[in-house]
Amino acid sequence: MNALPRLLLATALATCPALMPAAVVAEDLIVGFTLDADTLDPANHRKRETETVIRNIYDGLLTRDPDMRVVPEIAEAMTQVSPTVYDFKIRSGIKFHDGTEMTAEDVKFTLDRVTVEGAMGDGQTSPRQGLMGPVASVEIVDGDTVRITLKEPWPILPAMLPNQQIVSKAFVEANGTAGMATMSNGTGPFKLGEWRKGDAIILQRFDDYYGGAPDIAPVGAACVERVIFKIIPESASRVAALLAGDVHIINELPTFSIAQVKANAGTDVMTVNGTRSFFLAMNLQGEVFDDLKVRQAAAHAIDKDLIIDRILDGTAARIEGILSPDAFGSSELPAVSYDPEKAKALLAEAGYPDGISITMDTEGAFKDTAEAIASMLTNAGIRTTVAVGESAQLTEKWRTAGKPKSGDMYFSSWGNGSLDPFDIFTPTHKTNDRGNSAGYANPALDALLDQAAVEMDAEKRAGMYREAELMINADQPYVYLWVPQDIYGVSKKLSGWAPSADSRINLHDACIN
C-alpha cells in the first residue's frame, strides 16, 4: 500500500467518531437571524438588525414594555421640567460588564457622543444624531440626575430614547471608537463571548445584571447561560434550521412557510403587529394621477382584504391612512370600499372612459403582491404593468425630495419603529420631504404637522394627527394598504419570550425547557 492511501484511510478512521453529531448542550439559546451586526458600537450604525443584537448587550435610559409603552430602564424616573427640559434620575448600583459602576457621567458621555458634532473622534459625527432631535445640551445637575435640554420642544424624545444605549466613558476613552466596533462593555443582560463575523455572535449571561426595567417582570439575571445569534440570510435555510432543531427562534418567517412550521411537531409561529406601513404612491406630478378622481379610482379598485387573506396569510392589518393601528394618534378613518365599478365610473368622470395604462414600480421581494394589485387595478380599467427594480435605484427614482420625478405608481413602504407619527407622517407627506414619493404638497397639512411635532399636550397632539389623517384620507395621494405583522418561527422548547413590535429580540427572560 502506498503512503497516501494509507494516510487517507487512517484519517477517515480517526474522524469517524468525530463525524457523529456532538451532544447538544441544551442551555444555548440560538436565534436564526437574517443579518450580522455591522458593529457593536451603539452610536455608530443605523441598522435595526444591528440594534437588535446590541440591545441584548447594552441597556438604555428608557425602554419599551411588551405593550410598547415607554418605561424607565437605566433611568429610575423621568421628569419633564419644562417643554424643553427633561430630568433623568439614574438608578444606582448598575454595573458594566467589566465590573465598574455606571454613573451619570457615563450617561452624559453617551448622549454627548451621539449628539455633539465630531464627538466620535476623527471629526466624525454619530450617524444616530438624527434620532435624538434638537438636543442643546446634556448636563449632570446633581450626582445622579442627568438633564437634557432641547433647543425647541420635541415631544418625541421619550419615544426615541430607547434607541440609544449607554456606554462606559472609561471604556470608550481607553479603546476609542475603532475599538468599540468589535468590543463591548455594556450594562445589559448578556456580555459578548465571541463574535465570529458573518457566522455568529455568542453572548454570555452577565450574572451581575441589575435586572432591567422593574416594569417588565421577571427582574434579575437572564434565564439562559448562553445566547447565540446565528446568521442565516436565506429564508428557506432559516426555516430548515428551525425544523431541524438547530435554532430556537427565527425572524422574518416567510408567509408561505407558516403552514409548514405550524404543522411540524416541535415548532410554532408567533406574530406581533409590525410598524411598517405599505402603500401605493401615485405620482402627483404625472399626467394621470394629478387628478383626485383617478387616485380615488385606484383606491376603490383594490380589494385589500383579499390580498391580506390570500397572499399575506392573514398576517397584516389594513389601514386607511398612513399610521399603523398601534401608533400614537391613530384613529378610525373612513374606509375606502372595494368597488371596481365605482372605480371605472370615476375614471370616466376624469375623462378616461377607456381606462388608462400605467406602470407600477416595486422591489423583487414584493413582486407577487404587486402582481395581485396590478390585476385588480387592470380589472377596474387601470391597466397596470409591474416593473421590478432594485431598492437603491427605486429610492433614487421616487424619493426625490422635491426634484422632478418620472414614473406612475410605486408600491412601497415606510417604517415607524418609534410608533410616533413624527417619523412616518412628516417624511412621507410633508411637501418635498425625504420620503414623499407621491410628490404631495399641501401647505395646510405641512403647518399642521409642524404644529403637532412640538405640541406638548398629548391629547391635543393626537387630535392634530387625526385631523391630518382625515386630510390625506380625502386627498388620497397614496392608496394606504396594510401594516404586515412581524412573523417569527419558534421552537416549542422556548418559553418566556414573545416578539416585540419594535423588532427588538429581548432574550433576557427567554428560557429553554
Partner 1 sequence: MSLSRLLERLLQLIPVLLGVSAIAFLMMALTPGDPVQIIIGDQSITPEQEAELRRGLGLDRSLLERFFIFLRNALQFDFGTSYYHRRPVSDVIAERLPATIELSLVALIVALVTAIPLGVLAAIRKNSILDRLATVGSLLGVSLPGFWFGLLLIMLFAVQLQILPVSGRIGYSSEVPTITGFLLIDTLLHRDLAAFGDALRHILLPAITLGLPMTAILMRVTRASMLEVLRQDYVTFADAKGLSRRRVLFRHALKNALIPTVSVAAIETGSLLGGNMIVEAVFGWPGLGRLVVESIFLRNYPLVQAAVLLYAVTYVLLNFVADILYTVLNPRVKL
Q: 330: Cβ–Cβ under 8 A, 6 or more apart, which residues?
A: 321, 323, 324, 465, 469
Q: Name which position in 100, 182, 271, 473 contacts partner 1 (CB under 8 A).
A: 182
Q: Of the candidates 267, 270, 236, 227, which has an alpha carbon nearest to the alpha carbon of residue 30?
A: 227
Site for partner 1 in 118-157 (CB under 8 A): 123-125, 127, 129-131
Q: Which of 312, 319, 227 is nearest to 275 (CA)?
A: 319
According to the binding rule CB under 8 A, does residue 52 interact with partner 1? Answer: no
Q: Is 431 in the site for partner 1 (CB under 8 A)?
A: no
| Cα dihedral 404→410→416→419 (10° resolution) | 110
Question: CA–CA separation, 152 vs 146, rounded Å?
Answer: 18
Piece in contact with partner 1 (CB under 8 A), picked from 145-153, 176-184, 206-214, 336-344: 176-184
What is the nearest approach in angstroms of partner 1 to the Cβ of residue 352? Answer: 32
From 82-90, 350-358, 424-432, 444-452, span contacting partner 1 (CB under 8 A): 424-432
Number of residues that bind partner 1 (CB under 8 A): 73
Region of 426 (left: φ > 0; alpha: ψ -120 to 50; beta: rest) is alpha
Q: Would you say 154 and 91 are in contact if contact means Cβ atoms under 8 Å apart?
A: no
DSSP-derived letter for residue 324 is -
Q: CB nearer to partner 1: give 236 or 456.
A: 236
Stretch that binds partner 1, among 88-96, 142-150, 284-292, 416-424 (CB under 8 A): 416-424
Least distance (Å) from partner 1 to the CB of residue 43?
10
Residue 509 binds partner 1 (CB under 8 A): no
Binding mask 390-409 for partner 1 (x = CB under 8 A): xxxx-xxx-x----------
Q: Counting contacts by CB under 8 A, is residue 5 touching partner 1?
A: no
Judged by CB under 8 A, the chain residues 17 through 36 that form the site for partner 1 are: 17-22, 25, 28, 30, 35-36
* 464 counts as binding partner 1 under rule CB under 8 A: no
What part of residues 211-270 is at the interface with partner 1 (CB under 8 A)?
226, 228, 230-234, 236-237, 240-241, 243-246
Question: Between residues 127 and 220, which has the closer beta carbon with respect to partner 1?
Answer: 127
Q: In this structure, are strands 62-64 and 70-72 parallel, antiparallel, or unpaired?
A: antiparallel
Question: What does 28-90 look like in DSSP terms, one character per residue?
Answer: EEEEEESS--S-S-TTS---HHHHHHHTTT--BSEEE-TT--EEESSEEEEEEEETTEEEEEE
Residue with cell 399626467: 287
Within 10 A of 338 (CB to CB), how many other CB atoms are there?
A: 17
Query: Taking the complex as a whole, how short is the minimal distance between the CB of residue 507 and partner 1, in angstroms?
Result: 15
Which stretch, 165-173, 195-203, 289-297, 486-494, contacts partner 1 (CB under 8 A)? 195-203
